[in-house]
Structure 1
Amino acid sequence: MQIFHPALCATLVALHFLATPATADDLPPGMTAAGLRSGWQTATGSHMSALHVQLAGGWKTYWRAPGEAGVPPQFDWAGSDNVASVAVHWPRPQVFETNGMRTVGYRHEMILPLEITPADPTRPVRLSASVEMGICDHICVPVLLDLAAEITGPGAPDPIIAAALKARPEPHPGAARCTLAPIADGMHVRAEIDLPPMGVGEVALIELRGRPVWVSDPVTHRRGGRLISEADMVPDSASPFAVNPDDLVITILGEGGQAIEISGCPG
């Protein structure tokens, strides 16, 4: 469950376009360009493309775990042809503080690399997707993008996509231990992570892989070389629920662009 405050919602805008960016006349207020970057074929036979959304000054959009009051992009690949799977790669996000509330996302533009695995590598790929996302400035606008692109040939390396891939949080094998406890409307998570300090303003982001749940803004502090972060998880049912510790993902953002990701948090 993700919060998108109804008082801030304007209208749902549906856009239909190919890999060529949409013109400004086709876009909602706050969005200046949107499209799919053509990308290249990888050594494994997959194809690396990207969703590229550009925003007007002051506007932002959200990361996969958007914070207390945001809407993460949601993807539907139904209608694609010769597509076995699509993996979305997420660059390091920014943290925003607005009216005492923390959200997580991207300002000015969002570049999400898309790794497309064809069902048959010898045939062209037609990628068809509906992307639901929110963009915000003083108001928030929910947007529905309908995208389609024909992907053929080896393509060519794209430095913009390559930079977004390089900006992903580094996988971190460090020791993380979690304690889970039921609360009235969900589960409380306490994570203890053995991690050297990452500078001023460390931020811990806690999410649950594979299930949409609302997550409170984590409360984070340090005890020397140990980072401790706590948050509440509330599902749509607003009741305690089973959590597999292997599905917990913790991202730590530090000073100077540092970012690490810990997958799984055993008890």
Structure 2
Amino acid sequence: MRPSLSAIAVALSLLGPTIVSASDTTGLSKVELRPGWRMDDGTHMAALHIVLEPGWKTYWRAPGDVGIPPQFDWSGSENIHAVSTNWPTPQVFFEQGMRSVGYKSEVVIPLHMTANTASADMQLTGDMQIGICKDICIPAHLSFTATLPPTPTRPDPMIAAALTDRPYTASEAGVRNTTCRIEPSTDGGLVLHAEIEMPTANSTEYVVVEAGNPHVWVAEPDSRRDDGMLHATTRLVHVEGGSFALDRSDLRFTIISDARAVDIQGCTP
């Protein structure tokens, strides 16, 4: 699929939950920023809710070879020290024989914010670049702003449900050991061989590998099961063709199956 050169802009400006109609925007049915609630520790939980038209999908943080990676810019915000994105469990799709990872129909993406001054308003101003795809892929530009007061409020059930729809941690999934062997590739870059000792999901398991470096491209891994061991091999290349260092502690493995997803941080030699 070749991305369209046009971008879509959807502006959200709100003080409370506001639904913005996107019926005139190809692929997008509704977009809203849910302002969420201020938590006991002074941080704030909000969420971006994206509803897609039938047959359309959007992408996870690691979208695969044919997907458009989502990007956030929070630089216009005030009294916000950091924003962490909590991605719900994604699905695996195949398009023209190539794998992608993302969401159909809709997705609620929780946003956890830390304030510089917890007792004051947070002014969230964000720009998000996402890809939405059906027969073609279209880069969409979402802009939104919201004032988030420090007054404690009740949790939003929709956001709370999205927070529970997350991959299992390695400990929760019974992962016993994750080892990595790294060697130079004959055609440039590095080859990564990973062995993950974990119980089987009793269904097809797809392995997604993230390098922890946005400038490093990771190929779709070849994976197989051998009793209690999941084997995965992939190639990593710097997007500009240069050399790079690979820190095993920065590697991230997500195992996605029909039954569950598992998030594994780092590996040992």
Alignment TM class, shorter chain as reference? over 0.9
**2:42/2:119 contact within 8 Å kept:** no
Number of equivalent positions: 260
| Range that drifts further, 34-43 or 7-16 | 7-16
Aligned to 1:170: 168
Alignment equivalent of 1:129, drawn from 126, 131, 136: 126
CA change 1:212–1:56 in 2 (3 A) is farther
Q: CA deviation at 1:254?
A: 2.5
Match for 1:205: what amino acid?
V
Q: CA deviation at 1:210?
A: 4.2
Secondary structure at the aligned position of 1:21 is classed as strand
CA change 1:63–1:212 in 2 (3 A) is farther
Aligned to 2:189: 186
Q: Are positions 1:145 and 2:142 aligned together?
A: yes
Alignment equivalent of 2:218, drawn from 209, 215, 220: 215
Secondary structure at the aligned position of 1:22 is classed as strand
Deviations 1:27-75 (A, max 9, x none): 5200011121111112211111011111001100110111111112100
TM-score, normalization by structure 1 = 0.93
Give me the whole-angstrom Cα distance separating, in 2, the residues matched to 1:201 and 1:30. Answer: 29
| Range that drifts further, 7-16 or 126-135 | 7-16
- Structure 1 portions without partners, runs of 5+: none
Task: Give % identity.
Answer: 38
| Range that drifts further, 243-252 or 8-17 | 8-17
Alignment equivalent of 2:154, drawn from 137, 156, 162: 156
Secondary structure at the aligned position of 2:120 is classed as coil
Match for 1:61: what amino acid?
T
Give me the whole-angstrom Cα distance separating, in 1, the residues matched to 2:263 and 2:92. Answer: 16
Secondary structure at the aligned position of 1:161 is classed as helix
Aligned to 1:12: 7
Secondary structure at the aligned position of 1:162 is classed as helix
Aligned to 1:264: 266
| Range that drifts further, 236-245 or 73-82 | 236-245
**1:199/1:255 contact within 8 Å kept:** no
**2:3/2:139 contact within 8 Å kept:** no
Q: CA deviation at 1:202?
A: 1.0
Give me the whole-angstrom Cα distance separating, in 1, the residues matched to 2:68 and 2:3. Answer: 12
Give me the whole-angstrom Cα distance separating, in 2, the residues matched to 1:76 and 1:69. Answer: 23
Q: CA deviation at 1:209?
A: 1.9
Alignment of 1:1-267 (within 5 A): 7-19=2-14, 20-24=18-22, 28-152=25-149, 153-173=151-171, 174=175, 175-183=177-185, 184-256=187-259, 258-267=260-269
Give me the whole-angstrom Cα distance separating, in 2, the residues matched to 1:98 and 1:71. Answer: 13
Q: CA deviation at 1:123?
A: 0.5
TM-score, normalization by structure 2 = 0.92
Match for 2:227: what amino acid?
G
| Range that drifts further, 75-84 or 210-219 | 210-219
Match for 2:268: what amino acid?
P
**1:18/1:35 contact within 8 Å kept:** no
Deviations 1:133-181 (A, max 9, x none): 1000001100111111111122321111111111111111431001112
- Structure 2 portions without partners, runs of 5+: none
Give me the whole-angstrom Cα distance separating, in 1, the residues matched to 2:116 and 2:88. Answer: 26
